[in-house]
Structure 1
Amino acid sequence: MTIRLRLRGDADLLAFLPYHLGYHPTDSVVLVAMHGNRMGLTARFDLTDDPVAMARLTAEVAAPLAREEPEGVVLVAYEDEPGSSDAVLGVLQPAIRDAGIEQIAVMVVRDGAWEARHCTDPRCCAQEPQPIPSAADSPAVAELVGMGVSPLRTRADLRAFVALDPRASAPVEQALKARSVAWAGEAFGLPPDPDPTAVTAHRMRALHAWATVLDSSEDAPDLTAEEVVAAVHALRDVDVRDGVIAWMCPGSLPFEHLKPDLVDLLVTLLPVPVWAVHDQRSAETPDAVARDREALMAARRLEQRLAALCRAVPDRLCAGVLTVLASYAWWEGSGALAREAVERALQHQPDYRLAVLTEKMIDFAVRPGRAPFQDPSTVRTHLSAG
């Protein structure tokens, strides 16, 4: 989630990074593109000395940085053994300069402490390893902790966050058996009768199901097995799936690219995406900061809700819901979560086209568009005028 941050310097950035990534990184280099004190593109690379892998790093870095045009780049190396990050850092730094970026800061984290590389000015960087600030000592992190945000311990924990949970999926399997007869004969999630009225009724039911999923309120009840099944079934209609993603992730897919009658149903049936109402370009007023906080908490609750949905869905049917989660996570800037979600989707359905496309977007760091959410009446008026 991108919000206004009050990062006081390198140490604050290091304290914040695990919260931004969603887990505590190890044995890797994290690249952060900086626009002033705002974080942009963030990418993580495993430590390696394999020549083929390191040659690939150059291609993976050049194009995304050229698109983003940051003012500078921060490289944070997490290593257990002294010097184990040198090979990757040695490849990344010239690749960044080749992209036209001269301002590069390098920090190395080891044993809970950090040090700056290539900086000999004590007014800028400490000349001895320094402890990474605790949450209480970092205002940006303390604010997140106060809102209940915490990173997972490892990347493996992030993988488990979207993996199948047999206990959650068992009642879903039973609900699927009960619904299978009713679904017989449907193609692409639509009723066999092509009558527009029947299609509209079908899509209304589908979006009612997703209105329940997208309830990001603090007291939203957990999804029942029947609600999970309804949400999975709804995504068999790719127009509904694309509409849900467009609604969840404003700017990623303009409403003009959707059918007007579907947009009308989205506006009527789905809850306002509270997680997307903030605008980082607006002035930093108390009201704007409060909206940021509300959006952050809504985004966190929605992420938890989507992940719980994915854990409850059997592998043979998981591609749709996982791709929705991956699309949302990538739009939000949670690349690691997006990667884990799309990998599980493709493991069980390699030809799911939107998952394939999403994976390519992640591979090449092609970020979806992002825009503040428009008032529903504005959406209707704009489409009617068009």
Structure 2
Amino acid sequence: MNALTIKDPADLLSFIGHTLGFWPKESLVCITLNENKVGATLRIDLPRQTGHELHYAKTVTSYLASDTNANSIVFALYTSSRPEPGQPKPHAATIAALTGTLAENGITIRDGIFVGEDTYSPYDEEPGQILAFPVSKTQYSQVNAEFIYRGSTIEPTSNIALPPPTHRAEHATAVENYMTTIHADFAHLAVQKAHDLWMSMLDSQDYPTDNDTTALIAYFQFPHIRDQLMADIPGIDEPPHHILFAQTQTPPQWSRIEWAQQLLLHAYTRSSPQHAAPILTTIGYINWWQGRGSKAHQYMQLALDTNPGYRFARLSDQMLGAGIIAGWNSNKDTAYKTHLDMP
């Protein structure tokens, strides 16, 4: 396969779109470089809260610096916020902080692109200059043509599509009845039963029976049981709080995590709205582990749509908004191997 040559910003934006598979929204995308060779690609949500610029910059830098061959980066900042005449570009404080933290690691910013809804321009324009080009120009770039020839496409968004739930009344009743049984157990015994059931599912190659699925949904309704079941997913024998925050010495078993997500999606299809939030939040958390921040945020929002008061989803989404990256993704030996998208 012939190597691609990026000659101008339109080529770079096309490369980003095809590499991610979608056109980013409210995102910062960084690409590491070693001389003129492209290294790692990172997409991360722009901070949704002010005051977190330095922490955000440090987490971005920690990932980029894991590419030990990188000596510079280029970035593209995608936002619907419009720059005001005579004012700094949107998110200027974030880029300033990132410039400093990268410099501390011996990495320079070679170039940056500001990408609005309809146009793109150099991030650091000279005073008095307006160099805006239509985003549609990327459709005619040489890199875009080459990717299309290879069969690649760019989706307009990274929006998720959930399988349709059945919403059958008897499913909801069965979950409520099982929750009553769980309440009657001693706490440690309920946790052990849930653990044994979940481990048998994770070790199996088949989807569970309807009765076992009902039990799983019921167990996830209890926060102390839910946390244990989440810690069981990666297949790591370390303290649960280390696992939940992806701060383990042992790398996770990513194929096991992928299977857990499929099992939870299967459970979601049999969940009623009043029971869906814990399942959706856990799937979102798995996406955070995998470095898929935009998808994680969507799952948290879907969970809050079903239960606006579900605190775990709200706290997890606040963590994403602060730009906190799962620890596994700061190490190329533990990171999800196909990830290109981070919180």
What TM bracket, shorter-length normalisation? 0.5 to 0.7
Judging by fraction of residues, say which structure has more helix. 1
Root-mean-square deviation over aligned CA pairs: 4.8
**Cα displacement (A) at 1:338:** 0.8
Measure, in 2, the Cα distance between the counterparts of 1:23 and 1:345.
23
Q: Which residue of 1 aligns with 2:199?
A: 207
State how far apart, in whole Å, the 1-side matches of 2:79 and 2:61 are: 28
Tell me, yes or no, if the aligned pair for 1:206 and 1:234 is still in contact at 8 Å. Answer: no
Kindly tell me: are residues 201 and 174 of structure 1, through their superposed partners in 2, closer, same or farther at Cα, counting changes over 3 Å?
A: same
From 239, 250, 255, the counterpart of 1:274: 255
Q: Which of 51, 67, 87 is the aligned partner of 2:89?
A: 87
The answer for the alignment partner of 1:283 in structure 2 is none
Q: 1:204-225: CA deviations, max 9, x gaps?
A: 234344556xx6xxxx77x886
Deviation digits for residues 283-302 of structure 1, max 9, x if unmatched?
xxxxxxxxxxxxxxxx5x87
Secondary structure of the equivalent of 1:138?
helix
**Aligned partners of 2:109 and 2:41: how far apart in 1?**
15
Shift of 1:334: 0.8
Indicate how the Cα distance of structure 1 residues 366 and 195 shifts in structure 2: closer, same or farther if over 3 A, else same. closer
Match for residue 331 of structure 1 among 285, 289, 292: 289
* Larger deviation, residues 332-341 vs 32-41: 32-41
Size of the alignment, in residue pairs?
291
TM-score by length of 1: 0.55
* Corresponding residue number in structure 2 for 1:15: 14
One-letter amino acid of the structure 2 residue matched with residue 256 of structure 1:
E
1:320 aligns with 2:278: yes
**Match of residue 177, structure 1, among 173, 183, 193:** 173
Cα 1:323–1:312 change in 2 (3 A) is same
Measure how far apart 1:176 and its partner are.
2.5
Once the two structures are overlaid, the 10-residue window that deviates more, 87-96 or 62-71, is: 62-71
Matched, 1:154 2:154: no
Superimposed CA distance per residue, residues 347-380 of structure 1 (whole angstroms, 9 cap, x where no aligned partner): 5153544x3553343122222232559xxxxxxx
Give the match's secondary structure for 1:99: helix
- Matches of 1:115 and 1:207 in 2, distance apart? 52
Report the counterpart of residue 295 of structure 1 in structure 2: none
Task: Determine whether 1:25 maps to 2:34.
Answer: no
For residues 233-253 of structure 1, the C-alpha deviation after alignment (integer angstroms, 9 at most, x for no partner) is 232465664455345447xxx
Shift of the alpha carbon at 1:74?
A: 3.6
Identity of aligned residues (%): 14
What is the distance in 1 between the residues matched to 2:262 and 2:182?
31
What 5-or-longer segments of structure 2 have no aligned partner?
66-70, 127-131, 242-252, 336-343
Q: Distance in 2 between matches of 1:228 and 1:331?
A: 24
1:137 deviation in Å?
1.4
TM-score w.r.t. structure 2 length? 0.61
What secondary structure does 1:322 align onto? helix
The amino acid across from 2:299 in the alignment is: A
Task: Return the match for 1:62 from 38, 57, 61.
Answer: 57
